[in-house]
Homo-oligomer: A and B are copies of this chain.
Amino acid sequence: VRTVGDVGEFGLIDRLVPLLAGAGPEGAPPPLLGPGDDAAAWEQPAAVLVASTDTLVEGIHFDLSLPRSPSDAGELTPWEDLGWKALAVNLSDLAAMGAEPACALVSLALRPETPVAGVEALYRGMASLAHRAGCRILGGDTVGARHEHVIGITVVGTVPAGEGGTLLRRDRGRPGDRLAVTGVLGTSAAGLFALQHPGSASSEAEAALARAHLRPEPQLEAGRCLRRAGVRCAMDVSDGLLADTAKLCAASGVGARVEATRLPLDPVVRAAYPERALEWAAGGGEDYQLLFAAPSEVMARARLRLAAAGVPATEIGGLTDRPGEVCLVDAVGRDVTPPTSGWDHFARPAGHP
């Protein structure tokens, strides 16, 4: 197996650059300067620029040695999935602002014994999502690592000039706003469990859940709909619904009451792991759905627009005037908030998905 140590930094770059050609927003002019120089460059018409960066560390955010579902025969699949996911979590941040993806820069720290074919598969996974999302990968940096792979991606997106006031911000929630979430919840946590415990559910269910964990879909169309419908407060659900609701509340200076019976459990999760579906929906991370808040009339408009775009969404509660107080209540109003939830990157690993 040829490794990145064998072909060297520049041999590797020569193989990766062709994999990026062609990925870019539909109809957009080519960049002035793509990979290969000190920096990438493009002509930018006046716009509001939106930028975000996210980093995945081996052993913390991903595990290339996880068994795949039986249908995934290819040994390069983990790398391809990883490329997809690394870009997806970044595009999710743009979705959560209501921005259109423009371009991305990729920074890889790789152990020298990494197979070249693995890195090529990683880039194919990124490129396939980039192409679908209209995001151009303009370049990056590839360096050695000693112990663990680290993948950092920075994405830049846009909203039209003068529309900076319409960005979906965490700090725009107000007491009385309705709170809602797109899609279903708990799928990613269930998918990780299925990967770690093969045979714990039917193979169809395991495959579908694993796919949701490995290839999350950034909710770009949902973000677009929300911004155009006049919603001003949103974020993506990456650390877990309750943990992320707490962040939205902290930024907005409000509280939230979330109704457990309204949480959009994934029907596949409910069928496969009935006793854990609620826990994963409330506390599991990495679903990359959008959590948003708006006054009732805006919420109604937003839900119409989302429905027209084929994006499911569910009202799960409302914002309150009790700053910092986030509670999950059951059907009769009892507080059933779990003692801890969410993901702290510096916490010692403790069975969190």
Q: Which A residues have a C-beta under 8 Å from some C-beta of B?
A: 4-5, 7-10, 12, 32-33, 36-57, 59-61, 92-94, 96-97, 99, 103, 105-110, 112, 138-148, 150, 152, 154, 156-157, 161, 164, 167-171, 235-236, 251, 344-348
Question: Which residues of chain B are within 8 angstroms of A32 by Cβ–Cβ distance?
Answer: 48, 164, 167
Closest B residue to A8 by CB, please name it: B344
In the complex, the answer to whether B53 meets A346 with C-beta atoms within 8 Å is no
Question: What distance in Å separates the Cβ of A161 from its nearest Cβ neighbour in chain B?
Answer: 7
Q: Tell me the number of copies of this protein.
A: 2
Chain B residues, CB < 8 A from A147: 146-148
Chain B residues within 8 Å of A57, by CB: 109, 143-146, 150
Contact at A105–B52, with CB atoms within 8 Å?
yes
Given the interface pairs A10-B344, A345-B144, the reply to whether A47 lies near B50 with Cβ below 8 Å is no
**A168 CB contacts on chain B under 8 angstroms:** 38
If A32-B164, A152-B55 touch, does A39 touch B157 (CB 8 Å cutoff)? yes
CA distance A154 to B104 in the complex (A): 10
Residues of B within 8 A of A60 (CB): 143-146
Instruction: Determine whether the beta carbon of A52 is less than 8 Å from that of B139.
Output: yes
- Smallest CB gap from A144: residue in B: B345
A37 and B170 within 8 A (CB) = yes
Nearest CB on B from A3, distance (A): 8
Q: Is the pair A55, B143 in contact by a Cβ cutoff of 8 Å?
A: yes
**Most chain B CB neighbours (cut-off 10 Å) among A44, A156, A348:** A44
Contacts of A110 in B (CB 8 A): 346
Q: How far is the CB of A16 from chain B (nearest CB, A)?
A: 13
Most chain B CB inside 10 Å of its own CB: which residue of A39, A147, A344 = A39
Given contacts A41-B49, A147-B148, contact A346 B9 (CB under 8 A): yes
In the assembled complex, the Cα of A249 lies from the Cα of B44 at a distance in Å of 29
Q: Of the candidates B46, B143, B170, which one forms a contact with A44 in the assembled complex, judged by CB atoms under 8 Å apart?
A: B46
Q: What distance in Å separates the Cβ of A285 from its nearest Cβ neighbour in chain B?
A: 13
Interchain CB contact under 8 A, B164 and A39: no
- The answer on a CB contact under 8 Å between B347 and A167 is no
Interface centre among A7, A36, A112, A346 (most CB of B within 10 A): A346
> A5-B347, A61-B143 given as contacts; is B51 within 8 A of A103 (CB)?
yes
On chain B, the residues within 8 Å of A92 by CB distance are 38
The answer on a CB contact under 8 Å between A109 and B44 is no
